[in-house]
């Protein structure tokens, strides 16, 4: 196979014509569910699954482990721990201080000393008692760890950005389809009512024909990851540098790389806001455009913005300014009749107040607990989560393709069906990047 023309690993037989809608239909079901996600999410699981009289039978508990838990991960883990049907039992982290802190948190909650600690995620994943894992390592490890977990028979909630490039995005979706495991990307805005309401307006035609979607990427810079001068590495027991590097190309220890949040974000292109925030706001635009199974076909950096276009003609604009003061991660959906804008403070603003009738209670601060609950429901029902691997795959591809256009500083055209940048060899080569041994996706 010519590596400049990678194709997806086939995973399942294509259903006959007219029957492809099993996932699509579920996607629609999810879409309609979103408008009332907050109220309804806890009700999705039938009572029998949750056990009787509020008590959780051991057989109905989701036994959870966590991999790479820092600040963000600790917040999401807190959302898991507040769910009565979660039993958290193990933490894997290459950094001793972090794994010890999480063990202390868990042991304090349960009043015992049972939380197991691991330096190597493979040891944690080998435990047969785990149903699911929370992965919040840092983007360098997200896809590789998620795929390892799926192959070990675990369901996965993974923080974003979930992948480092287009090839990893497909690999992630393929792995979860092949293994039948449940995946939830940490794009919790899919489970928040203000974003869901705005999307619902788009889906129900209240905005007219969708013309332009706006997303706030939080910066459009891209650059390559690098190599810094060696420093004396701490003992492996304190920081396992080899495991920390994981799938990233080798380089000597330098403590400035230990900021896992930013290390190798975006892989070959260290990414900037296109991945960090785009995995949220571009994802929301994909949802609004009912484009969860595709990505824009054209991307052009211009005047400090990134202009993209879907095959259905809808435009996607990534811009950093000109937003209403509604907080972080704003999105704006414009149709030929009306528009709506919303962001993290939970407010919605529309071209007409009448559009906002029935918007429901305001929930600001982008909490993740509804999204976590949706994941746990998926673990039990084996249904599709709101940010499942296929949805995450295409949202990330849209971000990576935008990043490639920004990096090359030129317009690129992308064929989502063939996974190919049209007539652009350099863009095509940026779709993937070799992983360091022994890792693979």
Min separation Cβ 20 and another protein, Å = 8
Q: How far apart are CA 318 and CA 197, in angstroms?
A: 21
For another protein, the closer CB: 203 or 396: 203
Strand 331-335 relative to strand 210-215: parallel, antiparallel, unpaired? Answer: antiparallel
By the rule CB under 8 A, 417 interacts with another protein = no
Min separation Cβ 282 and another protein, Å = 23
Among 97, 107, 153, 304, binds another protein (CB under 8 A): 153
By the rule CB under 8 A, 384 interacts with another protein = yes
By the rule CB under 8 A, 418 interacts with another protein = no
Long-range contacts of 107-110 (CB under 8 A, 24+ apart): 109/81
By the rule CB under 8 A, 400 interacts with another protein = no
Instruction: Select from 183-191, 194-202, 218-226, 368-376 the region that touches another protein (CB under 8 A).
Output: 218-226
Among 42, 44, 75, 351, binds another protein (CB under 8 A): 44
Alpha helices, DSSP H, located in 246-351: 273-276, 278-288
Alpha helices, DSSP H, located in 138-259: 139-151, 166-179, 193-203, 241-245
By the rule CB under 8 A, 233 interacts with another protein = no
Cis status, amide bond into 101, omega within 30 of 0: no
For another protein, the closer CB: 119 or 380: 380
User: Are 87 and 64 within 8 A, CB to CB?
Assistant: yes
By the rule CB under 8 A, 354 interacts with another protein = no
Instruction: Select from 61-69, 220-228, 274-282, 332-340 the region that touches another protein (CB under 8 A).
Output: 220-228
Q: How far apart are CA 422 and CA 72, in angstroms?
A: 38
Among 21, 108, 312, 352, binds another protein (CB under 8 A): 21
How many residues would you count in the chain? 441
Min separation Cβ 383 and another protein, Å = 6
Tell which residue, 190, 184, 192, has the closest CA to residue 62. Answer: 184
Within 10 angstroms of residue 352's Cβ, the number of other Cβ atoms is 12
By the rule CB under 8 A, 373 interacts with another protein = no
Within 10 angstroms of residue 393's Cβ, the number of other Cβ atoms is 27
By the rule CB under 8 A, 236 interacts with another protein = no
How much of the chain is helix, strand and coil, in % rounded to 5?
40, 15, 45
By the rule CB under 8 A, 97 interacts with another protein = no
By the rule CB under 8 A, 429 interacts with another protein = yes
DSSP bridge partners of 5: none
For another protein, the closer CB: 142 or 380: 380
By the rule CB under 8 A, 61 interacts with another protein = no
Q: How far apart are CA 360 and CA 196, in angstroms?
A: 11
Residue linked to tokens 């403590």: 255
Min separation Cβ 175 and another protein, Å = 10
Contact set with another protein (CB under 8 A): 1-4, 6, 9-13, 15-16, 19, 21-23, 25-26, 29, 32-33, 36, 39-40, 43-44, 46-49, 128, 151-153, 178-180, 223-224, 226-229, 249-251, 254, 256, 268, 380-384, 407-410, 426, 429-430, 432-440
């Amino acid at each position: 196979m010519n590596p400049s023309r990678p194709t997806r690993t086939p995973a399942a037989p294509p259903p006959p014509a007219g029957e492809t809608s099993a996932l699509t239909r579920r996607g629609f079901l999810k879409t309609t569910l979103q408008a009332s996600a907050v109220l309804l999410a806890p009700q999705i699981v039938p009572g029998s699954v949750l056990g009787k009289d509020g008590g959780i039978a051991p057989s109905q508990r989701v036994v959870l482990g966590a991999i790479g838990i820092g600040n963000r991960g600790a917040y999401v883990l807190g959302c898991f721990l507040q769910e009565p049907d979660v039993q958290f039992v193990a933490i894997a982290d290459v950094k001793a201080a972090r794994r010890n802190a999480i063990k202390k948190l868990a042991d304090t909650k349960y009043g015992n000393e049972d939380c197991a600690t691991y330096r190597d995620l493979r040891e944690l994943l080998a435990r047969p008692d785990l149903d699911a894992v929370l992965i919040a390592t840092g983007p360098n490890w997200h896809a590789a760890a998620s795929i390892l977990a799926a192959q070990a028979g675990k369901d996965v909630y993974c923080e974003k950005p979930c992948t480092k490039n287009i090839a990893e995005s497909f690999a992630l979706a393929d792995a979860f389809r092949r293994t039948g495991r449940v995946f939830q990307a940490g794009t919790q805005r899919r489970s928040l009512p203000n974003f869901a309401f705005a999307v619902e307006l788009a889906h129900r035609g209240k905005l007219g024909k969708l013309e332009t979607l706006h997303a706030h990427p939080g910066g459009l810079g891209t650059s390559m990851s690098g190599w810094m001068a060696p420093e004396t590495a701490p003992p492996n027991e304190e920081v396992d540098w080899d495991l920390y590097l994981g799938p990233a190309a080798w380089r000597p220890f330098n403590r400035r790389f230990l900021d896992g949040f930013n290390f190798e974000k975006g892989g070959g292109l260290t990414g900037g806001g296109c991945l960090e925030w785009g995995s949220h706001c571009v994802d929301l635009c994909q949802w609004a455009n009912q484009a969860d199974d595709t990505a824009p076909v054209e991307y052009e950096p211009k005047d400090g913005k990134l202009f993209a276009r879907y095959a259905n003609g809808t435009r996607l604009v990534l811009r950093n300014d000109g937003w209403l003061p509604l907080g972080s991660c704003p999105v704006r959906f414009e149709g030929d009749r009306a528009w709506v804008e919303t962001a993290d403070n939970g407010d919605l603003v529309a071209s007409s107040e009448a559009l906002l009738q029935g918007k429901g209670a305001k929930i600001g601060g982008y909490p993740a607990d509804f999204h976590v609950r949706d994941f746990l429901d998926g673990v039990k029902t084996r249904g599709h989560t709101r940010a499942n691997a296929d949805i995450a795959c295409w949202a990330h591809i849209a971000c990576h393709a935008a990043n490639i256009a920004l990096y090359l500083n030129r317009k690129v055209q992308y064929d989502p069906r063939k996974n190919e940048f049209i007539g652009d060899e350099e863009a095509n080569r940026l779709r993937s990047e070799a992983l360091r041994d022994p890792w693979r996706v």
